Amino acid sequence: MDLDPLSSFASRHARKLYVGVYAAAVIYFIASVASYYDSRFGFTSLAHFGYSKIETQNQALLRTSHYIHPNNSGFEGQFYAANALQPFGEAESVSNFHLRRILFSWTAFVLGTGNPDWILQAYCIQNFIFWLGSAWLLLYWFPPTHWQNLIRYLGTLFSLGMVSSLQFALLDGPSLFLILLAMRWLERGLPWLGTIALGIAGLGKETNLLAAASLAESGSETKSVSRIIITAVPLTVWIAWIVISLGSPSSHLPDRQYIDFPLLGFAKAILGNLKDAGETSFPASFYLKLALMIAIVIQGFYLLAIVKQDSLWRRLGIAYCVILALTGKDLWLDEQATIHRIGLPLLLCFNVLFTRDNRFFLVLVLANISSLIGVSQLDLPKIENQTRMSGDVGIVYDFDQRAYRDIKFEEGWYIEERSKKRYWRWSSGTGSITALNSTDENIAGSLNFILKTLNSRELIVSVNNNEVWRYLTESGYSEKLRVPITLLPGENVIKIASPQLASRISPDPRALSFALYDFDLEVRYESQTH
């Protein structure tokens, strides 16, 4: 008699169970990425555009519709996205550091077929496309046949490095795909294809050239050196192009400590964490940060300790051990998981090479612990209502106050409401909006929104007591509406009114006339002056 039918069932159908878990994980990731889509801005929130020089000076970017994160200067993805709009190094306010990492700006340009808005969308979503490619390639090393493969497969794909690369539209996830492709070709005995793939990867990030260490075969030093040199050719040619055609663009980087003496950056990060934790009674976040750092130490120690001198995976992993050992403390401590993105190839090598002995199960789990954080961070970004800018105008943002000064909802509006993907305000019948134009010239633009009403009614929009728009709607939601407006220098009053009586729906005590959904004020420069 079978005393453990569940165990018997699992053993008979283990492969089906693993395949199901793999498929569920991929479906979950697809659904998570789909939730990032916004009806107004698409996926552009992922590039983390902020109020930096590139946002106010890059003319190609100003002509596109994209989400701008309020109250910050953005993150690196915005520069690579700007490069995609001008793919031969013409982008204004982009440093040499970002210009030389051109590959995935080129792929976005091709995917966007030259259309600026499509290019931005393509750049922001291509992390997802390359993630799917990596998920397919990883099946070769981690097929759905064993629980250890499951941990290694999901631990790589949902690692904090992979997820943060997606969430900030950075280069590390797509780079890992190219490294995986190169390693697959090298293992199949196709060294020149692997060499070409690694050379192309160097155009994505110069640190990808560390993967050329996998080409160093003992007994064939001449071929190894030749292939390693070839991997550097594409990046060398591109840098030469930048210097010859553009001169020497600024290479300024943020004031951070990127490189330090071996392991000193890591030691400073540990001590910094201890100091901060001691001042705050050792919160749970301290132990989490410590576990994430220990995971990287485990990966590196194992690759240094094992004796597989002829393993291309070990050579690749040790190259990344070296770069991580030299990394400064600021990159170990930052909130964008930089150290986990840099260390993605190290995690991959560890998962490929780590022992299959079940006694070391807990070590395998701890080395992949960042995937638990990665899964938890696949949440929906908050999309704020905002003014969109398509010219050099003063209405959008007050740099001195670091706050919006453009639009205020005054009388006649109820408090703002929101769901995960939408936001709206109800009005009782006549609502006033004050818009400040801080320039000395007229600003033209449009007030954009989706209208919702409980019954048929008319809507009238006036600016400074001059009627500019009239609309008759049925009950329910309208399509996206655009009301053209011109804002004079100084304060402008926009009134939105409906002459029909407001309605009440029990148990809501409010008198409801109409609601504006997903509203924003889009402005552009108007040449005429006062």
Q: How far apart are the first and last CA of the chain?
A: 94
Dihedral of CA 92/93/94/95: which sign?
A: positive
Q: Coil, strand or helix: which one is 123?
A: helix
CA 376 to the chain's CA centroid: 15
pLDDT tens string, the chain, 530 residues long: the values are 444 555 555 566 788 899 999 999 999 999 999 988 887 788 988 998 876 666 656 777 877 878 877 656 778 899 899 889 888 766 555 677 788 899 999 999 999 998 999 999 999 999 999 999 999 999 999 999 999 999 999 999 999 999 999 999 999 999 999 999 999 999 999 999 999 999 999 999 999 999 998 888 766 778 888 899 999 999 999 988 888 877 655 554 444 567 888 888 889 888 888 888 787 777 887 888 889 999 999 999 999 888 666 689 999 999 999 999 999 888 888 877 889 999 999 999 999 999 999 999 999 999 999 999 888 888 766 565 555 444 443 344 443 433 334 577 888 998 877 776 678 889 999 999 888 777 788 888 888 889 999 899 999 999 999 999 999 998 888 988 989 988 888 889 999 999 999 988 877 788 899 999 888 787 764 444 33
User: How far apart (Å, rounded) are the C-alpha atoms in residues 486 and 220?
Assistant: 72
Q: Which of 152, 154, 184 is nearest to 356 (CA)?
A: 152
> Is-contact 445 522, C-beta < 8 A?
yes
Dihedral of CA 208/209/213/217: which sign?
A: positive
Dihedral of CA 27/33/39/43: which sign?
A: negative
User: How far apart (Å, rounded) are the C-alpha atoms in residues 67 and 58?
Assistant: 15
State the pTM of this model: 0.74
User: How far apart (Å, rounded) are the C-alpha atoms in residues 110 and 480?
Assistant: 29
Residue 120 burial (10 A CB sphere; 0-12, 13-18, 19+)? buried
